[in-house]
Structure 1
């Protein structure tokens, strides 16, 4: 019997040692294969685990259990009742490139509020830039500690070229705690993007196009007020994926906006017959009824007032006024038929984006701004109550690519580090998906089986007629 017991014990010890060796090998391989930032986070995670039982009581994250188990009292060797047990929350630590994610199990009197009060102490002890504590589910917390500030760490994004799982989900980047941030564009009529030149507005829009372009259920029209021709500027590499493109000519932009308003009217007239619903988002976009995104960059080019008494100035003023009216029609009436207007400008004041357009766009982002007034018109009056997220604090070159926004489903405002998409990647995506480009008006005509208004073509003769009419 003794020999059998010793043999069984030897087997158990061997199994334990083998498991331990296997775990150590797995950990070593994982450490070697990790990049420099992740290795630092792995070492940080080890320190967090080892120091937790000592740190927790010092940070006020422990509770005394005065009720002793019955067997402890009965079998006490010296006849004395042992001291009450000090309990600390159980934790599980996971490292990533920016720091650690700690999941903790709550105890009586050690829950969300206690962890939030202790967050500054945890940040110091774990050598983190900042620590956040959120309720993951009843009785369980997720503690995010970032060793490296994600907002000042530039990131790149390489488009996969694959059809996105959710077409209407715009992946923006990561927040202060390196948590991915996205926004739903379903049932959204318009988006405004503001900020100083060179701080990331166009790069943000480029990522949206590159991520969604592989789907045939989306089509783009671009009005870029910074350039004259489609082969110029930031969208030149993506031009072949757009069914329409205009530069800074107000008459050409006017023709494009009229063309999209005609599409909006035709879709409104035929949506129930074609889709069987009154709101396209009840069934979602498709190849035959795609989401149409109008991108208006440097919007002040098309909307600002022109003051003067000469004929040319009057003509420009008339075109700008009609442009604003047409885009207002798209924003206020295009949501249910699958039209989205994405407007970018440096300063979202009323002269750049008319208030009757800006104030009905539910999603707004702002990169760096010089004045508090510019931040307010871009994000709303409530941004004054969130000074840490105010875009006036993003003027440092380290914050190029960082925007402030009101996050859907969260109180207050969030700062987001948006990644950079290389020009070569944008050109690759556009070339690979150019065959998906279709005019939505032609698709509607094919699908509805009825004669619809012909879209206004973008040719010089019609541009001249439009200017003369204005």
Structure 2
């Protein structure tokens, strides 16, 4: 980017007392051309360049010139963001499109350096995308079957599993037993697992709510704070990650007048209330709930749950209404970023989410985690599994959850 800079003012607009530079022969000097210095670093997708701004050429001017720079550099696209210091911009040019370049993630098996930091993958410019989940009560994720939802959750589990300060519970609405489905390789790292049985899910959700209440009642006496995140999770007071896959299985409104259907409808209604409790009241005591479903419409994830989940992602969707349910009405203003455009097989593993702190949405290539790698991490970290209710009992000296209790009938079941 070049900028012509004149060193003199026109006579009519020159401030009073301004000295005009001139050559020895009395002529005004020609304009100077200033070229910003670039520091360029190449990588697998393209280049990153840092440039210093010039007078009247700042971030906005660089951003307007981005399409022309992409043509001149022969790049698929170029983005411009503020640099690392004032007066600097960072230009990102990609020659290979990261969104259609499949990637794989091999878990290290080492504890994460920072708690509740979700490494999602890379954006359309090949830049890493991290989502901080501290103080976040819930995540809602939607997308068509086979487009990457479960693999995205698997990476989070594999990256966090080596830490004793994180404990997991899985609800998988696609299967009936722990040895089936997508979480079969990870289940040994979970302190609880539930399949598609609504009665069993109801019992386990009640236990989690009892645990939430026990933590709420004892957090100040045990941790000395009202919010667990003020001290961070620990092996004695771990972050509890509740994964509810195919969430519509547990919340669907069953229609019918026969006793069996009424029973299912009562369980589903109470399950929704119990999950609402975890999402709305569990953040400060260390609960994080991840809900996935195909369409995050109100019939799949009740709006009183979905709308209090600050983080929302969507893989490919078939309709604009499904995209709006997952990402909010603002996605209508950004049609190029809509997950409706991701139905091509090339976009398996690509998700859309809103940009934190900036307008618009970002498209993310999430990596694939091989089953054998997930199994390896789960087996190596199974020794870290502790039931958080038992940990709380040791801290408080009293029983907070009766894990032997049966609740065969939902209290709201109609005759």
TM-score scaled by length of structure 2: 0.93
2:18 is the counterpart of 1:66:
no
- Work out the CA distance in 2 between the residues paired with 1:403 and 1:218: 25
More helix by share: 1
**How many Å apart are 1:350 and its aligned residue?**
1.0
| Alignment partner of 2:203 out of 252, 255, 265 | 255
- Work out the CA distance in 2 between the residues paired with 1:312 and 1:79: 100
C-alpha change, 1:309 and 1:80, in structure 2 (3 Å) is closer
- Work out the CA distance in 2 between the residues paired with 1:468 and 1:411: 45
Contact 1:65/1:87 (CA < 8 Å) preserved in 2?
Answer: no
**How many Å apart are 1:453 and its aligned residue?**
2.8
Helix, strand or coil at the partner of 2:360: coil
C-alpha change, 1:164 and 1:72, in structure 2 (3 Å) is farther
Matched with 1:116 is 63
2:218 is the counterpart of 1:277:
no
**How many Å apart are 1:117 and its aligned residue?**
1.5
| Alignment partner of 1:371 out of 319, 335, 339 | 319
- Work out the CA distance in 1 between the residues paired with 2:103 and 2:341: 20
Helix, strand or coil at the partner of 1:170: strand
Matched with 2:164 is 216
2:44 is the counterpart of 1:92:
no
2:355 is the counterpart of 1:407:
yes
Matched with 1:429 is 377
- Work out the CA distance in 2 between the residues paired with 1:85 and 1:447: 73
Contact 2:392/2:400 (CA < 8 Å) preserved in 1?
Answer: no
2:295 is the counterpart of 1:347:
yes
Contact 1:263/1:455 (CA < 8 Å) preserved in 2?
Answer: no
Aligned counterparts, 1:282-297, within 5 A: 282-297=230-245
Between the two structures, name the one with larger relative contact order (CA 8 Å, sep ≥ 6).
Answer: 2
Aligned length: 401
- Work out the CA distance in 2 between the residues paired with 1:79 and 1:320: 89
Matched with 2:14 is none
**How many Å apart are 1:144 and its aligned residue?**
0.4
- Work out the CA distance in 2 between the residues paired with 1:71 and 1:246: 81
**1:389-429, Cα deviation, whole Å (9 max, x unpaired):** 11111111111101110122222211111000000100000
**1:135-173, Cα deviation, whole Å (9 max, x unpaired):** 113211100000011111110001111111112110101
Contact 1:238/1:426 (CA < 8 Å) preserved in 2?
Answer: yes
**1:31-86, Cα deviation, whole Å (9 max, x unpaired):** xxxxxxxxxxxxxxxxxxxxxxxxx3xxxx3223536xx99967xxx998874431
- Work out the CA distance in 2 between the residues paired with 1:80 and 1:410: 49
2:76 is the counterpart of 1:135:
no
Contact 1:133/1:141 (CA < 8 Å) preserved in 2?
Answer: yes
- Work out the CA distance in 2 between the residues paired with 1:71 and 1:342: 67
Contact 1:255/1:466 (CA < 8 Å) preserved in 2?
Answer: no
Aligned counterparts, 1:201-350, within 5 A: 201-350=149-298
2:103 is the counterpart of 1:155:
yes
2:393 is the counterpart of 1:456:
no
Which aligned segments of 4 or more residues in structure 1 are displaced greater than 3 angstroms?
70-74, 78-84, 466-470
Gaps of at least 5 residues in structure 1 are: 1-55
**How many Å apart are 1:224 and its aligned residue?**
0.1
Gaps of at least 5 residues in structure 2 are: 9-19
C-alpha change, 1:123 and 1:356, in structure 2 (3 Å) is same
Contact 2:393/2:400 (CA < 8 Å) preserved in 1?
Answer: no
Of stretches 110-119 and 313-322 in structure 1, the one that deviates more from structure 2 is 110-119
Aligned alpha-carbon RMSD (Å): 2.0
Helix, strand or coil at the partner of 1:236: coil
Contact 1:63/1:108 (CA < 8 Å) preserved in 2?
Answer: no
Contact 1:255/1:456 (CA < 8 Å) preserved in 2?
Answer: no
**How many Å apart are 1:115 and its aligned residue?**
1.2
Larger Rg belongs to: 1
- Work out the CA distance in 1 between the residues paired with 2:168 and 2:3: 56
